[in-house]
Structure 1
Amino acid sequence: MPRIHSAFRMPRLPDRAAVGQSAGTGWIDDLRGALRLGVDAALGVTDVVEHLHESIRSVRAPISTAGKTKTNGITGFVYRNVRSVMHGVGFGIDGVLRPLNGLLPGSKDHDTRNLLVAIINGIHGDHLEATGNPLAIPMTLRVEGQQIDVRSPVASLTQSLGRAPRSKLIVLIHGLCMNDGQWRRNGYSHADRFRTEVAADVLHLHYNSGRHIHDNGAALAVLLDSLISNWNDAPPDLVLIGHSMGGLVARSACAQSAESRWLRQVTQMIVLGSPHHGAPLERGGFHLDQILGLSPYLSPFAKIGKTRSAGIQDLRHGRILPGDPRPVPLPSHIPCFAMAARLDPVDHERANQFIGDGLVPLASALGDHPDPAWQLGIPAARRQIMRDRGHLELLWDEQVGATLVRWLVHEKVRRRA
């Protein structure tokens, strides 16, 4: 039986040691969030059904501009009452459960909970945030699952580490639908190597990956600015390492920070499998929405596709700033490194162009583009292609870790020279 490459497997649960209890939520809050999301989904289905009902009742041509999406008369009255009842149920359940949060013991299966919440945030995170859903993940910096207080970072890190923090901090930024615990697999993590072989401390960024990339970039910039501004002594050097969407979030934070103090502390930025010029799967989803919208009988179902999060839609072109996609150069004073993966162990141009690591083509991951204005211009010495590996393996593969250590140590020596 042929080997199923890890790029196409479901994400594995992180090791139990990798993630502590998520800050600020108990299982009652999780239940509230899930029920509210269920009510929202039911309301969305009601909209789709009513839209389809109106399309069929109007008997328009198979290919035509969509007309009304709401029904009239008794039918419209029924749909409005269905919505009112569902809204009432949602508010009622939330009102009953809210006072119970904190009074009952929490769930001990943090790994499964964190994985599921990260996936939900990736798919619908912008909606969770807009509706104040308790499942929305707040952006935090963590050490082994424990949140760091950026208002007093030295004291907070000293407490978490059991010693004073080092002069180099590496910030690991996960990708879409992921969480900070998924950088570890089978007892191995890049972070452990960085601590022992690079003499650096490691922070993990945990965030709602369904928000716009530029919103997460701006929030990361604020977080890092607070971290550096509140450092008691000489602030540490910073290294940003982002996987997939995480690399775009890192670039966005830099692009929105101009002369910020924290940006002057960044000595390296490393991006792993990041879709700088977009991901084909999201572009395919967008085109499917456009096709469904051509028919009044199919356009109601296009609404379902359009519910995917703002973060996912930003991946269509790798958009990292608000507005239309436009070229955004890498920060000129920061050495930037790019790593890409490919499923095919030998050179195969078509596979590289369309498949790459299973999600991101090689050119997009390396920042290459036929239009010079969009070229990121990362030098060959700062690139690496990992053969016979998939997108997710960049998170935990030991050869990937060895390359990262080499880059980090070499750049440290170069800066001293």
Structure 2
Amino acid sequence: MFTWIPGPLSKRATLAGGLLLAAAPVEAASIGACVSGLKKQAIEAGVSADVAGRMLDGATFDEKVIRFSGSQPEYETPIWDYMAFLVDPERIEDGKRLLKEHDRTLRSVEKRYSVDRHVVLAVWGIESDFGQFQGDFYTPHALANLACAGGRRAGYFKDELIKTLKIASAGHVHPEAFRGSWAGAFGQTQFMPTTYLRLAVDHDGDGHKDLVNSVPDALASTANFLKDAGWSNARAWGHEVRLPKGYNGPEGRTKRAPLSTWAKRGITRMDGGKLSGGEAAALIQPAGKGGPAFLVTRNFEALRSYNVSTSYALAISLLSELVSGGEPFKTPWPTDNPGLSRAQRKELQHLLNKAGFPVGEPDGKVGPATREGIKKAEAHFGLPVTGRPAYGIYTLLGGS
């Protein structure tokens, strides 16, 4: 399960699949006693009393955390919306600029971990917009809410909370710096505490593994994660391909075969070039038949393990190509109502406000208020009511 929230929300490999918490209702009045118990357990586990107090005292019931943990998204995000938001012109240009700005660090990370620096940069861009947005939540309090909510995942979140406190107690990250997702991921490349303790590295040599304030540490830790997940610079993440008319052969991430075998099935590169070699790959069509098709390698699986979603891995793959001077996918998404970039979403919010469908201060993030405004606008124009930020309603309101 991949819960998409602009930012985006990250869970790391330790939260793969089936995360949503089947939590019992949390009473605001009862969380104080629960948090006191968690603080005691943390101290018994080796966390300093001072750090435990600084990070847990004052934790209160957070309805938003519980709601995010127990509810499905209001609608399933089409992949063309997902890609339009995450791989937009602004992120591509920022990526190209930061590729030059952090060239020395990225090259040293690539040399040490044998992970393509453009891919590492792309993860940074997708996870936190290159460090500009690391999350809305103070993760110790979010994790305390999840641990106190009960349910089958409560023990998991308690363990992540205690590990968060241990990271701070060891002096790697300042106690107040844990800003991240409702599920506990933090830092510029959004590691869960368990993943941090296993794979975070000190690349700048200051004695701390600081994924919040140190770009070198964040980038190197990401490369270390991908290396551990099986990334190899000896192969590409994959290839966009052209299928023969009426293709009905094998498809799916688990159905791997050498590139030469796919060539025998009539599949070619987009330019008509022949596929060859023994590299194993799988055919995926993430938007279904009629959309782009890709042969993806083990490297794609390494990207997917970072946040278990095919759309996520594809966004990383495309952004890495574009910041390195590559070209966008050739096959268009199979829709006549494509998604919007962040700039267009912000403009859509402005247009909704202007048209009398108030959504609040435009910020490019599509939350409940914006979806409600879109629904009212769709109803006004006689469109199917979806709440989706898409090109159709955008143009009807005057966007271009």
Give the TM interval when normalised to the shorter protein.
Answer: under 0.3
**TM-score normalised to structure 2 length:** 0.22
**Higher share in strand:** 1
